[in-house]
């Protein structure tokens, strides 16, 4: 049991009980008493508040035998019908948005052209319109939205929700994304402008979404996204590892020896992204007379089995694999997931070739190198989960219950 929910006696609050139920560690009154050391009456009082808020319900499964013996107990479960989450994932020229249930089910979804270079005011305003339409499609009202999660293709200061010197997001540096998205939500969906908005890097949120849904027992999980740029998300102990300044995982701008004369979008020469990203492969293909301008063009060529695209993707995989050998040696993850436009057999083959050659055998003995399971939805699922984990965290529950008047 973690220290946070391991409080005993009068210390364990409604938020701690909710956490125990949501995580499945204690799902009956008896089990909650045992886990917290609270009396039956106190557990009852705290659960009553959660019932009145609509956050908990009695399970459909019926009574189960109590671990303490005696009467069978009713199981408790998180009531995921009392609110919904909005999420969006911005790529450089395309975006996806969705309404999600509190347990991560996508209730309505939309993907379309949205050009990040048009700047934050235009892009976030349009997202507000998408959110309004999606809520209508899902049959939910704006006041049911408990929060918004947004994935962006750049480094994010998660305390302020602002992007920090993003190489591929001109005009977004330091912009107040939370306030603008809240305004757009109020304007188009008629929701409260002060709705909580959480912003994070797309690779972080993809890693979070994939780890939680597909690899919940993996305590060290790394996802590498290779599309127009290259980024990585790290989930350690079930939490996104962001580093001190939110810069963890930004492996696209590591210098590689082969790239000395390759100009990167960040303005430097020799970055990994300048020689091994979807954008870099597209440039090589275009130079050879194959029409390709972006990572998604390369993906289309790979899907069609284009031999030159496959050869270049494998070579890009080897270059990324060389850098990943260091990543794997440092973090010793259980899963290394390759996602994004280039994530296919040729790229993966290249990654494996160099990774197993360069990394220490002990760091790769129990390593699974896999491709994405959620595909284009990974960041949406991760963004939704981030909002839910934030809003229902024990330290935030008390304040929110008081605001609801229970
Ligand atoms: Zn760079």
Dist. CA 198 → ligand 1 center (Å): 26
CA–CA separation, 251 and 334 (whole Å): 19
- For residue range 28-47, list pLDDT tens digits in order: 999 999 999 999 999 999 99
pLDDT at 72 over 70: no
Q: What are the CA-CA distances from residue 211 to residues 217, 221, 235 (Å)?
A: 8, 7, 7
Calculate how far, in angstroms, residue 228's C-alpha sits from the geometric centre of ligand 1.
Answer: 12
Is residue 62 very low, low, confident or very high in pLDDT (cuts 50, 70, 90)?
Answer: low
User: 33 CA to middle of ligand 1, Å?
Assistant: 54
Tokens linked to 340: 């994004």
pLDDT confidence of residue 92: 87
Whether residue 251 has pLDDT greater than 60: yes
Compute the distance from residue 266 Cα to the ligand 1 centre, in Å. 4
pLDDT in tens, 80-103: 999 999 999 999 889 999 999 999
Higher-confidence position of 168 and 346: 346
Q: How remote is the CA of residue 275 from the centroid of ligand 1, in Å?
A: 10
284: tokens are 């090589």
The strand pairing partners of 106, in sequence order, are: 100
pLDDT score of 7 more than 70: no
Mean pLDDT within 209-227: 97
Question: Rounded to an integer, what distance in angstroms lies between the CA atom of residue 103 and that of residue 279?
Answer: 35
Q: What is the pLDDT of residue 342?
A: 96
- Residues contacting residue 124 through CB under 8 Å, at least 6 positions apart: 177, 180, 181, 184
CA of 234 to the centre of ligand 1 (A): 20
Which long-range CB contacts under 8 A does 358-366 form with residues at least 24 apart?
358/321, 358/322, 358/325, 358/326, 359/324, 359/325, 359/326, 359/328, 359/329, 360/329, 362/332, 363/328, 363/329, 363/332, 364/328, 366/334
9: pLDDT strictly greater than 80: no
Residue 259: which pLDDT band, with cuts at 50, 70 and 90? confident
Average pLDDT, the chain: 93
Q: What is the pTM of this model?
A: 0.92
Distance (Å, rounded) from C-alpha 371 to C-alpha 376? 12
Q: How far is the CA of 269 from the centre of ligand 1 (A)?
A: 7
What integer pLDDT is reported at residue 246 of this predicted model?
86
Question: How many A from CA of 324 to the centre of ligand 1?
Answer: 17
Look at residue 69 and tell me whether its pLDDT is greater than 60.
no
Q: Could you read off the pLDDT of 153-211 as tens digits, one per residue? A: 999 998 999 999 888 899 999 999 999 999 999 999 999 999 999 999 999 999 999 99
Asked whether residue 393 carries a pLDDT value surpassing 90, the answer given is: yes
Q: What percent of the chain has pLDDT over 90?
A: 85
Asked whether residue 71 carries a pLDDT value surpassing 90, the answer given is no
Per-residue pLDDT tens for 120-152? 999 999 999 999 999 999 999 999 999 999 999
Q: What is the pLDDT of residue 166?
A: 87
Distance (angstroms) between ligand 1 centre and the Cα of 267 equals 6
**Which of 332, 337, 342, 347 is CA-nearest to residue 372?**
337
Return d(Cα 98, Cα 53) in angstroms, integer: 25
CA of 143 to the centre of ligand 1 (A): 42
**Who contacts 360 (Cβ-Cβ below 8 Å, separation ≥6)?**
329
């Amino acid at each position: 049991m973690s220290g946070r929910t391991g409080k005993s006696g009068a210390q364990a609050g409604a938020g701690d009980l909710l956490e125990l139920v949501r995580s499945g560690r204690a799902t009956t009154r008896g089990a909650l008493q045992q886990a917290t050391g609270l009396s039956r009456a106190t557990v009852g009082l705290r659960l009553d508040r959660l019932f009145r808020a609509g956050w908990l319900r009695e399970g459909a499964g019926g009574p189960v035998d109590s671990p303490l013996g005696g009467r069978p107990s009713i199981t408790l479960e998180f009531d995921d019908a009392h609110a919904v989450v909005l999420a969006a994932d911005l790529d450089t020229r395309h975006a996806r948005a969705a309404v999600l249930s509190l347990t991560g089910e996508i209730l309505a979804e939309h993907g379309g052209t949205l050009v990040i270079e048009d700047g934050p005011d235009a892009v976030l305003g349009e997202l507000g319109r998408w959110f309004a339409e999606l809520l209508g499609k899902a049959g939910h009202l704006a006041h049911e939205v408990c929060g918004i999660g947004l994935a962006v293709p750049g480094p994010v200061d998660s305390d302020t929700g602002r992007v920090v010197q993003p190489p591929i997001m001109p005009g977004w540096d330091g912009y107040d994304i939370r306030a603008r998205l809240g305004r757009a939500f109020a304007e188009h969906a008629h929701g409260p402008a002060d709705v909580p908005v959480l912003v994070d890097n797309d690779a972080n949120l993809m890693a979070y979404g994939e780890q939680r849904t597909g690899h919940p027992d993996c305590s060290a999980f790394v996802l590498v996204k290779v599309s127009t740029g290259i980024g990585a998300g790290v989930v350690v102990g079930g939490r996104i590892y962001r580093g001190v300044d939110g810069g963890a995982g930004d492996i696209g701008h590591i210098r590689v020896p082969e790239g000395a004369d390759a100009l990167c979008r960040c303005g430097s020469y020799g970055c990994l992204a300048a020689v091994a990203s979807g954008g870099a492969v597209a440039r090589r293909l275009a130079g050879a007379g194959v029409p390709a301008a972006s990572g998604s063009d390369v993906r289309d060529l790979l899907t069609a089995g284009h031999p030159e695209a496959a050869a270049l993707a494998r070579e890009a995989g080897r270059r990324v694999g060389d850098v990943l050998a260091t990543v794997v040696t440092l973090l010793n993850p259980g899963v290394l997931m390759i996602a994004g436009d280039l994530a296919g057999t040729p790229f993966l083959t290249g990654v494996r070739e160099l990774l197993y050659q360069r990394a220490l055998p002990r760091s790769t003995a129990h390593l699974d190198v896999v491709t994405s399971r959620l595909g284009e939805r990974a960041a949406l699922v991760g963004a939704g989960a981030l909002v839910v984990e934030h809003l229902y965290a024990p330290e935030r529950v008390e304040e929110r219950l008081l605001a609801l008047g229970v």
